[in-house]
Amino acid sequence: GGHHPGREGDVFNARYQALRKLGCGAFATVWLCDSFPRRKKHVAVKVLKSREGFAEAAQDEVALLHCVSSMKKKDQAGENIVCLLDDFRMIGENGFLIPDSLPHACLVFEALGPSLRCLMGNYAAQGLPLPFVKKSLQQVLAGLHFLHQRCRIIHADIKPENVLLCGRDKSLQRLLPDTLDCVQRRELRLQGPGHDLGNHFEESDLMTIDVKIADLGSACWTYKPFSKEIQTQPYRALEVLLGLDYGTPVDIWSTGCLAFEMATGECLFDPQPGKYFSRDDDHVARIIELLGRIPPQIAFSWNKSTKFFSRPGALLRLSRLCPRSLHSLLHDRHRWTKPQLAPFASFLLPALRYAPE
């Protein structure tokens, strides 16, 4: 019950012809396909693994996506969320089922450009131009507002890989030709300056690119969380780290982390395990270094608090913290000026509140 062994040229559901593999993850393979016969257009077909757990997860994802689609039609809104066009089930290889496996759930989406992660890769550790960062964040937040308020959905995995680029007037094809996927671009960069694409796009070109939130594979209803363990580690909200019941603010925390990374080229929190402490210990410590002491009434309202804190509220396994402010981090390490710094900090710090409403 693993990945469907698709090949270029295969036809899925008598309608979608595979052109090339866009990516392969732990849960699914994504193919760029031609849609026919009605009218040829490119789509992205996500083929999920066929084991039982994946089939259940696919049912949840399809239900969430159908809710988004119906709300989009009803409200004429939600344009910053990737659109589900179709879904179907596909029998395994050779047309029969392997014992203990189930049909592969397949989701068909509009085909978009690469992810923010790919674009950020072209800027190394410098960060993207701030006007583009601001515009993209407005679109991400508009998408989240639609998910949270209209669909009652928590995305639960906002990160650069899950924000896709889409271009107007073929601007995206000009900037990031789809003959180079993200992996190939990374390999080219690693080969050294002679092979680097060197794409620092004109800001005016960048500003023609829009972004859309993708991948509801980890999402859940606001009133029915599916899991305590959500979000990719660097973007994980404090309440999730410490086992608190969570809500829509976890997506805003992740967006704050995304904002910092887009603007500086560096992760806001990149925790690492040590000999005597875990990655989660380090993560909580780095959050306290940047945002200050967690008030005891918050720290000790959480069921995992004894895993991290001693009775007075000090961290159990990490005693030497190095406090740093967001202002000093941006000014000293990234050489930001005060006019750049103030508006960015006034956006970021509320996104990282300890007791979000």
41 and 135: one domain? no
106 and 124: one domain? no
Let me know if residue 129 belongs to a domain: yes
140 and 103: one domain? no
Choosing from 64, 80, 110, the residue where a domain stops is 110
155 and 262: one domain? yes
254 and 152: one domain? yes
Instruction: State which residues form the domain around 138.
Output: 116-270+324-351
Choosing from 85, 110, 135, the residue where a domain stops is 110
Number of domains present in the structure of the chain: 2
Cβ distance 163 to 116 under 8 Å? yes
Please report the pLDDT score of residue 190 as a whole number.
32
Cβ distance 301 to 323 under 8 Å? no
- The answer to whether 46 is a known ligand-binding residue is yes
| DSSP letters for 65-121 | HHHHHHHHHHHT--TTBPPEEEEEEE--GGGSPPTT--PEEEEEEE----BHHHHHH
Structure-token match 């050294």, residue found:
192
Pairing of β 84-90 and β 28-35: unpaired
340 and 228: one domain? yes
Let me know if residue 42 belongs to a domain: yes
Please report the pLDDT score of residue 357 as a whole number.
58
CATH number of the domain encompassing residue 122: 1.10.510.10
Q: Which tokens in the block code for residue 317?
A: 């396994």
Calpha distance 64→10 (Å, rounded): 28
CATH number of the domain encompassing residue 79: 3.30.200.20
Strand locations in the chain (E): 11-12, 16-24, 28-35, 41-48, 84-90, 104-110, 153-154, 163-167, 209-213, 220-221
Let me know if residue 307 belongs to a domain: no
Three-point CA angle 148, 135, 154, nearest 5°: 15
Contacts of 80 (CB under 8 A, 6+ apart): 139, 140, 142, 143, 146, 210, 211, 212, 213
99 and 120: one domain? no
Contacts of 252 (CB under 8 A, 6+ apart): 144, 351, 356
Bridge partners (DSSP) of residue 213 are 81, 163
Catalytic site positions: 157
128 and 222: one domain? yes
pLDDT by residue, tens only, the chain of 357 residues: 566 667 788 888 889 999 998 887 777 889 999 988 766 788 999 998 776 667 777 888 999 999 999 999 888 889 999 999 999 988 766 344 555 567 888 999 999 988 999 899 888 778 999 999 999 999 999 999 999 999 999 999 999 999 999 976 555 655 554 434 554 444 333 333 333 344 567 788 889 999 999 999 999 999 988 888 999 999 999 999 988 889 999 999 999 999 999 999 999 999 999 998 999 999 999 999 999 988 877 777 766 566 788 766 678 888 788 899 999 999 999 999 999 999 999 999 999 999 765
212 and 342: one domain? yes
Q: Between the CA of residue 55 and those of 14, 51, 60, 228, what are the distances in Å?
A: 21, 6, 9, 20
Calpha distance 109→95 (Å, rounded): 24
Residue 105's φ and ψ, nearest 5 degrees, are -75, 135
Let me know if residue 302 belongs to a domain: no
Calpha distance 85→61 (Å, rounded): 14
341 and 217: one domain? yes
Choosing from 61, 89, 110, the residue where a domain stops is 110
